[in-house]
Structure 1
Amino acid sequence: MASEIKIPNMGESVSEATISNILKSSGSFVKQDEEILELETDKVNQVLYAPESGELTLQVKKGDIVKIGQVIGTINPPTVEQTLKSSDKKPPKPIEPAFPPPSNGKAKFTTSDFVSSLQQSTVSPQPTPIVEKEANTSRKQMSSLRKIIAQRLVEVKNTTAMLTTFNEVDMSSVIAIRQKEQESFQKKYGIKLGFMSFFIKACVAALKEIPEINAYIDKEDIVFVQSYDICVAVSTDRGLMVPVIRSCEQHNFGEIEMQLSAFAQKARDGSISVDDLKGGSFTITNGGVFGSLLSTPILNPPQSAILGMHSIVKRPVVIDDEIVIRPMMYLALSYDHRLIDGKQAVLFLKHIKQTLEEPSRLLLDL
């Protein structure tokens, strides 16, 4: 009896996927657990394996969009002959003679016979399609992942009232703590103390003060998220991945840094899972690692706000009526104005600024 091939469950928030690559063609013989095709969602890629050995029949092609649970093909149990063929090596192909054998009962194959045979066997070549090339350009097919990302970004722009507000933070205190504690931190946790863990902790404190930033709109309701599950954008060759660090208020700096490092590695080698990416109520993106001085980050739906970090640059600032040089960073908060008022967005950034300039506030939960 034939076995059905179904699209597996790929996470709560995933309802459909794209056939990004077919690894075994329809009609071929496959072995159990052999890779059949690749599925691609707006979050991750996943390989689909043969549930058993047999003859593969596929009802989809590359680029098709499929639903979770959809039957896309079958595997018919192998016959005895197919089983033997799959285990035996194919015999070498016999070498074709350079000249055709004598025909028409002739012992000799004359020059005229050779010319005549060529005329009979010659097939008119198919016309080569003409491909017009544009000057100084090249083309590359957009991946399914990039198509879905593009669609979602346009959807965010068209369905939200997105605004961005800015502030700047003096990073002197954070830099001083990192320099002072770096060696002991690395000995204890086996990883460097970065800037992101400071920002995550500062965001948690600010989210507690202004819960609307940690909420989202669902039709006519406002859903307030009671946990602090923060997404951190990670850039990869395939595109932007946004894994979630859950319950950030319960983790110390070392635990957060270790999770960040593990997610970054998994995103780069393609082993990140749907569970790593689903959920989250607030996002942080760091364009500063690429040298960005200022930007307006776009929302990560259905979330209502996203924080953008940028390069740390030494600039002259006025402190106590004196001009001094300080390592400064611009912060950007993009938010959905349907839910979040300008006052709340400004106060949220101000709270983060104060926390980072006086990190002792984290100890007092201010």
Structure 2
Amino acid sequence: MFPRDVIPAGPIVLREHLKTDAEAISRGCADPEIVRFIPTVPSPYGRDDALAFVTEVVPADWSHGGAAFAIADAATGEWQGNIGLKPLNARGAGEIGYLLAPWARGRGLATRAARALAEWAFSQGVHRVELVADVENVASQRVAMAAGFQREGIQRGAVPRRGGGYGDAVGYGRLALDPGEPQRSFLPDLPGGSLSDGVVLLAPLTLADAGPYHEMMSEPEVLRYSVPPEAPDMEDTLRRCRYTGMWWSSGERAELSVRDASTGEFAGHIQLMNIVPPLGQAMVGYSLKQGFRGRGFMTRAVNLLAEWTFTGTSLHRLVAGTAPGNTSSHRVLERAGFSREALIKSLLPGADGVRHDDLQWVRFRG
């Protein structure tokens, strides 16, 4: 059994729950994001639910070998959230889970709590602490990274979803021997959440983009030059949209919608992928809806993405590949400052079963 310590963490402390926390807990757990990502939280959530949590759930966690703490303001003692360590699994590892009230967010308190609880667990002889976050819960993923947890991979169908079914999760781990340095994404956030030159606007893909994205990827001209030249099924499209935030926070890739800045209408898609920091290189790929062609939208989008990349990352080279006959794409790249670099023989899979050449382009920093 773990000791019921009070754990200091700067502006907060981790302490035992009190019945007087019930009112704050009931307000905090009515938050839509908590309801969305923690399906065990009743919805609607009232004071009786909070009292049952404090007087029944929390004592059971302790009695079963776990640890359950309130995150409280160090000066006032007011409840700010919950954090706990599950009973150690068969491999001797513990798993952290947490939630933070809406009014306590944006100040790094969840990161402080997760770091403090992990280090307390290590002081109790635990050699490994794990953390699992829904792939769509980017805020929780950022907490894990800032608290020194390293991303270890995707766990398919690992988390239950409210209303039924299971979703994918991101697994993080931290060892007692790890330095615990914050893990930072290679990709910075977009300034203000988007990039725009007043004509086009780039913003991270969301689930709301799934329909127009899927429709675009099935257009004959887009399909003709897709790799592979096959329309995605809807599950692939939904997965791409759900994974966008996780890919971004992990520094793996950036997936963005291209929109008409004046109307907000979905016009296309652009991505930064195959990011290799040691080489200082990444690849740009893009597609544009039929109704937006001939207006310079994609040239503007490629320029915006390239300038953001060279400003916010250490990348030195951006590359792009096109079919030798895709003259429209050639003109986009030329106008966006790319130059032809190489012709790679028999690289691209074709719908006819024959592999086709790939004309590769490059744009350098500066």
TM-score w.r.t. the length of structure 1 is: 0.28
TM-score w.r.t. the length of structure 2 is: 0.28
More strand by share: 2
Higher relative contact order (CA 8 A, sep 6+): 1
